[in-house]
Amino acid sequence: MKLQLTVRSYSPDVRRRLLSAIDRIAKAEAAAAAAPKAPDVHVGAGGNAVYNDPALTRRVSTAVAAVLGPANVQEMPAIMAGEDFGEFGRAAKCPSLIFWVGATAPSKLAAVGGDVNRVPSMHSSEFAPDREPTLKTGISAMTIAALEVLGKP
């Protein structure tokens, strides 16, 4: 028998505690049931939570808002998405942040009352980004962020 789990957390410490508890509980349950052998608990590929450095996030969001307009920049709540981006900042031992670019046509978003949870996400077969504005906004935001962080000419 094989059981696979996805384990997500908001911090590396909590992730370590969760993985340790899964190992401990699986082995204890097998022992309590007098299983013929202990389970083989294997932790495969997985990533830690993405951590947006607060100072860098403020700096970049302020720069992007100054160019694209404050109404076009919003802070998003933490979510339990699977994303390996956070490993880049950890590996480089430097502050990092991930930002998302909205891709839904304004008319489609308005049709659902502005609720981003009611439009297809990028992992949906129904995802249909508003291509030109999304690309232009993404390129602009990335350029603004790069100039802010790397230095303006």
For residue 132, the enclosing domain spans 54-150
- What's the domain count of the chain? 2
- Distances in Å between the Cα of 17 and the Cα atoms of 3, 14, 89 are 19, 5, 22
Mean pLDDT of the residues in the chain: 90
Question: Based on the domain organization, do 43 and 60 belong to the same domain?
Answer: no
* pLDDT > 80? residue 80: no
pTM for the whole thing? 0.75
Nearest to 78 by CA among 14, 9, 29, 139: 9
* pLDDT > 70? residue 153: no
Question: Based on the domain organization, do 36 and 81 belong to the same domain?
Answer: no
Q: What is the pLDDT of residues 92-133, one digit of tens each?
A: 888 999 999 989 999 999 999 988 889 998 889 999 899 999
Say if residues 8 and 23 touch (Cβ distance below 8 Å): no
